[in-house]
Amino acid sequence: MLDARDWFTEIDAKDGSAFSLKIKRKLHEEQTPFQKIEIYETETFGRLMVIDGCIMLSSRDNFLYHEMMTHPVLYSHPDPRRVWIIGGGDCGSLKEVLKHPEVETAIQIEIDEQVTRLAEQYFPELCEANGDPRARFEFQDGIQWVREATPDSVEVIIVDSTDPIGPAEGLFTEAFYRNCLRCLSRAGLLVQQSESPLFHLDLIYTMRAAMKAAGFREVHTLFFPQPVYPSGWWSATIACKAGLFPRVQDIQRQSFVTRYYNLAIHQAAFAAPDFFREAMARR
């Protein structure tokens, strides 16, 4: 919410925390058929996208999320030729995916087209790859897309969704994971943002359990900083049809620029803290 002193604050009442940014001005506000979208200009974090009162991204720190949602999983697959991004309407993940020359097609399946149109207007730096001939846009329900897709039709699925409420709720279920498993090729990988390891251990445990129940052989959670999200510490969870196959040499000689991701970060991100491992074992 925006107060009278021009501070936007996202309150996490359940965990007794809040995060605020000083706002210069509101650039846009609209209610789509799916959600309320607001765009602000902040004093120190650049532009800010808010959906249904929750911060989605800022110009200043989105590279942390987008790089860690894409490069670890793509470099953990032996041949990621076909990639789906479920959600990801701001196109930041798509931009990072298309940095990989081995990717032949990248399909972004976003339920709310207006998220992409506003990103093109207010976050053009995230949309630089939208014209890449390998990119394809489908503005429809990602759950339905996966349910109706052909088996063995994709190597990597990236679920770049909002929190598990509203339109995104169905993306965190065993049924959805089971359909993803069917669509993935033999060494296929699914990665999904899995909230804060400090605040949302129950959700992460539920996700991991549902992925295993759906038939995935292994699950791995990786960790990274994200200042504008609750607790400032975030995670993504990878579900493996066969396992992880890190292409270390390819990471070392990557031909594109990243601001956060590198080989050392890749390796460190999969190191789970003791409290996390104990929490996953207890539940």
How many whole angstroms separate alpha carbon 74 and alpha carbon 198? 26
pLDDT tens digits, 52-103:
999 999 999 999 999 999 999 999 999 999 999 999 999 999 999 999 999 9
Amino acid, res. 11: I
Neighbouring C-beta atoms of residue 51, cutoff 10 Å: 23
Angle at 116 between CA 85 and CA 179, to 5 degrees: 25
Are 209 and 179 spatial neighbours (Cβ–Cβ below 8 Å)?
A: no
Are 73 and 191 spatial neighbours (Cβ–Cβ below 8 Å)?
A: yes
Give the up-direction half-sphere exposure of residue 211: CA atoms within 13 A in the CB hemisphere: 24
Q: What is the mean pLDDT of the chain?
A: 96
pLDDT of 167 above 70: no
- Exactly one of 160, 163, 202, 250 is catalytic; which is it? 160
How many whole angstroms separate alpha carbon 204 and alpha carbon 73? 18
How many whole angstroms separate alpha carbon 47 and alpha carbon 233? 20
Q: Which residue is associated with the tokens 């445990």?
A: 205
Is 160 annotated as catalytic?
Answer: yes
How many whole angstroms separate alpha carbon 159 and alpha carbon 237? 10
**Closest C-alpha among 160, 217, 167, 218 to residue 194:** 160
Residues of the chain with pLDDT > 90: what percent?
Answer: 93
What are the tokens at 276?
A: 């996390």
How many whole angstroms separate alpha carbon 148 and alpha carbon 126? 29
pLDDT tens digits, 174-219:
999 999 999 999 999 999 999 999 999 999 999 999 999 999 999 9
Domains of the chain: 7-58 (2.30.140.10), 62-282 (3.40.50.150)
pLDDT of 258 above 80: yes
pLDDT of 168 above 80: no
pLDDT of 163 above 80: no
Class of residue 10 by CB neighbours under 10 A (exposed 0-12, middle 13-18, buried 19+) = middle
How many whole angstroms separate alpha carbon 26 and alpha carbon 41? 6
pTM: 0.96
pLDDT of residue 22: 98
Please give the backbone phi and psi of residue 160, each rounded to the nearest 5 degrees, phi first: -105, 75
pLDDT of 270 above 80: yes
How many whole angstroms separate alpha carbon 21 and alpha carbon 179? 39
pLDDT of residue 161: 87
pLDDT tens digits, 121-136:
999 999 999 999 999 9
Burial letters for 95-120: b for 16+ Cβ neighbours within 10 Å, e otherwise? bbbbbbeebeebbbbbbbbbbbebbe
Are 149 and 204 spatial neighbours (Cβ–Cβ below 8 Å)?
A: no
